[in-house]
Structure 1
């Protein structure tokens, strides 16, 4: 949150960022209004990219996490929703069999071209 002061004699006021939600597919942040537009497009892109991968790197379709997002007071629990979406997006990453770093499958292919085992000392 940014601090803003209108003049030098008053206390700074807090500027709140609008609430954001993580995409459960790609892990990027979107506004609460645009996430419903993004998710179907992201899933379509995911299918297209997954189908281009070698069979051994293809992944199961990501499932939208089921999180109880309404609190007792009737508000959305964005923290719980974001945590579940972030975990889902991270589960899409595939580890390199040489170094163990994780990548999206299409990026893993590029990484593996240059990843070499460390020389024994």
Structure 2
């Protein structure tokens, strides 16, 4: 059976892309992130995500895709913001929409 091509996770959105297309995607994804971040209220805006450098070359000279993907996934989860009412986490633009329907629990 053919093995699927290796993939790398985007450090911004957490989606997987091929090793040849990841650099193109990251540039476009970062531009999209800036556009969406600028539309948010000032209190919900986040600093620009930074790509964490990981030791990517193994002893045999291969890329350590597992380490790269783990770091990228962690970085992609950083921008999540908790809801003030229930504590669930969302991307900032989705939190604004969610908070319209999330009501605080009544005090007992």
Into which bin does the TM-score normalised by the smaller protein fall? over 0.9
- Deviation of 1:97 (Å): 1.1
- In the alignment, structure 1 residue 19 sits paired with structure 2 residue 21: no
Q: Which has the higher contact order (CA 8 A, sep 6+)?
A: 2
The one of 96, 99, 108 aligned to 1:109:
96
Unaligned runs of 5+ in 2: none
- In the alignment, structure 1 residue 32 sits paired with structure 2 residue 19: yes
Mark the structure with the bigger radius of gyration. 1
Deviations 1:23-76 (A, max 9, x none): 000111111111011000000000111011100000000000110100011000
Unaligned runs of 5+ in 1: 1-13
Q: CA RMSD in A?
A: 1.1
Ranges of 4+ aligned residues in structure 1 off by more than 6 Å = none
Distance in 2, matches of 1:16 and 1:101, equals 37
The one of 78, 81, 84 aligned to 1:97:
84
The one of 50, 54, 59 aligned to 2:37:
50
Corresponding residue pairs, total: 108
TM-score calculated relative to the size of structure 2:
0.95
